[in-house]
């Protein structure tokens, strides 16, 4: 028998043995993940899960709105097992639309602080924050003092008339920030504060967070609001244009001597109609491990949701430690509907 032929026979034998030990109809374990997060570190993150558990991950990637629309259209026939969304406002919307099911896991409860759990009606939380990001303030170092923009309240002060750049008030990042302010200030003061922001706008809200930072550097506005990772991305960028932007702007983590800076999340949930529930819970538990937390956070210059997990990230090191607010993120999400009504009343587009 030639070596080649022997190899072929061996391969056939191996296949036959496999067929004997694998009962007919037994299926490979899979997990269907609908994700609105896409970063270069994702491949390793998912490959490590498959290596550890043998569960293959099928990914459907879309933006948050696309994922929500797809889940609604699929209904009970949806193959989705795990849903990955960014921002508490969106997760709360998914919860309201009945897209998730509660998860009870001692490991998740122990690893993720209760403040970062979604609504829990006694059967476990409907979603879990898995990374955190701060909503911070950047300002033009040439004409604004940090002291004048070091609280969210001050952004509505009359002295900043015509200076504020911010993306649409109805964007989930702002809905959540305002939802947190509502929790701190109550409805009357929050609505007055929102009206103050509108009065201070340098221009009608447009663009994303990075556009606001660039507009500050370009002198179009004196102060802007952004998620921390957008500034971190610029801080780590090597392109000359980005270096120039970074040179011109200062940053502040607001309310350090008071209630703390508003912190939002990216988060995960088990789909209401998950066909692989056990695998889904296993995946959530995998995501709160030290290595997965590091990959998730570093991939987008965010903070691990699990306390005590250290990541070696130069931008976060430049930010330094900061005091975060302690409002439960589920409350922030739930406040966003009321916030939207206020935005309509004060004309915050
Ligand atoms: Fe973002």
Q: How far is the CA of 229 from the centre of ligand 1 (A)?
A: 8
pLDDT in tens, 162-175: 999 999 999 999 99
What structural domains and CATH numbers belong to the chain?
27-132+264-312 (3.40.190.10), 134-261+330-346 (3.40.190.10)
Map residue 232 onto helix, strand or coil: helix
Q: How far is the CA of 151 from the centre of ligand 1 (A)?
A: 22
Q: How far is the CA of 177 from the centre of ligand 1 (A)?
A: 14
pLDDT in tens, 233-254: 999 999 999 999 999 999 999 9
Among 132, 107, 92, which residue's Cα sits nearest to residue 269? 92
Q: How far is the CA of 8 from the centre of ligand 1 (A)?
A: 52
Q: How far is the CA of 65 from the centre of ligand 1 (A)?
A: 13
Q: How far is the CA of 300 from the centre of ligand 1 (A)?
A: 9
* pLDDT (0 to 100) of residue 18: 44
Q: How far is the CA of 338 from the centre of ligand 1 (A)?
A: 23
Question: Across the chain, what does the average pLDDT equal?
Answer: 93
Q: How far is the CA of 206 from the centre of ligand 1 (A)?
A: 15
Q: Which residue has the higher pLDDT, 220 or 27?
A: 220
**pTM, whole model, 2 decimals?**
0.91
Q: How far is the CA of 121 from the centre of ligand 1 (A)?
A: 29
In the numeric block, which tokens belong to residue 254? 């607001």
Q: How far is the CA of 296 from the centre of ligand 1 (A)?
A: 14
Q: How far is the CA of 165 from the centre of ligand 1 (A)?
A: 17
* pLDDT (0 to 100) of residue 41: 86
Q: How far is the CA of 172 from the centre of ligand 1 (A)?
A: 10
Q: Which residues contact 60 (CB under 8 A, 6 or more apart)?
A: 32, 33, 34, 35, 67, 70, 80
State the pLDDT confidence band at 8, using cuts at 50, 70 and 90.
Answer: very low
In the numeric block, which tokens belong to residue 279? 């695998």
Q: Which residues contact 285 (CB under 8 A, 6 or more apart)?
A: 105, 107, 108
In the numeric block, which tokens belong to residue 231? 């500034």
pLDDT over 50 (residue 48): yes
Q: How far is the CA of 18 from the centre of ligand 1 (A)?
A: 46
Q: How far is the CA of 100 from the centre of ligand 1 (A)?
A: 22
Q: Which of 19-23, 34-38, 89-93, 325-329 has the lowest mean pLDDT?
A: 19-23
The burial class, CB within 10 Å (0-12 / 13-18 / 19+), for 128 is buried
* pLDDT (0 to 100) of residue 12: 44
pLDDT in tens, 250-267: 999 999 999 999 999 999
Mean predicted confidence (pLDDT) in 99-115: 97
């Amino acid at each position: 028998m030639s070596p080649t032929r022997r190899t072929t026979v061996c391969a056939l034998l191996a296949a036959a043995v496999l067929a004997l030990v694998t009962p007919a109809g037994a299926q490979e374990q899979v997990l269907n993940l609908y994700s609105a997060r896409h970063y270069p570190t994702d491949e390793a993150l998912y490959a490590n899960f498959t290596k550890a558990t043998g569960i293959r991950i099928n990914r459907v990637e879309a933006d948050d709105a696309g994922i929500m629309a797809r889940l609604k259209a699929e209904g009970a026939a949806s193959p989705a097992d795990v849903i990955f969304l960014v921002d508490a406002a969106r997760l709360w919307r998914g919860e309201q639309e009945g897209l998730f099911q509660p998860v009870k896991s001692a490991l998740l409860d122990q690893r993720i602080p209760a403040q970062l759990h979604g609504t829990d009606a006694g059967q476990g939380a409907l979603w879990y924050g898995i990374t955190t990001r701060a909503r911070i303030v950047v300002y033009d170092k040439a004409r604004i003092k940090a002291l004048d923009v070091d609280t969210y309240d001050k952004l509505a002060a009359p002295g900043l008339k015509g200076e504020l750049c911010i993306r649409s008030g109805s964007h989930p990042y702002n809905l959540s920030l305002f939802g947190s302010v509502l929790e701190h200030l109550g409805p009357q003061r929050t609505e007055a504060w929102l009206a103050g922001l509108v009065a201070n706008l340098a221009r009608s809200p447009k663009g994303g967070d990075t556009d606001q930072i660039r507009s500050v550097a370009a002198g179009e506005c004196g102060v802007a609001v952004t998620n921390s990772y957008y500034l971190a991305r610029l801080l780590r960028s090597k392109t000359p244009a980005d270096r120039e932007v970074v040179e011109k702007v200062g940053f502040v983590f607001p309310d350090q001597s008071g209630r703390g800076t508003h912190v939002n999340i990216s988060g995960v949930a088990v789909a209401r109609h998950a066909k692989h529930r056990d695998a889904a819970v296993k995946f959530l538990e995998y995501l709160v491990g030290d290595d997965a937390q590091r990959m998730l956070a570093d991939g987008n210059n965010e903070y691990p949701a699990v306390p005590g997990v250290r990541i070696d990230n130069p931008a976060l090191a430049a930010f330094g430690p900061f005091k975060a607010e302690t409002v439960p993120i589920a409350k922030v999400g739930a406040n966003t509907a009321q916030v939207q009504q206020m935005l309509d009343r004060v004309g915050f587009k």
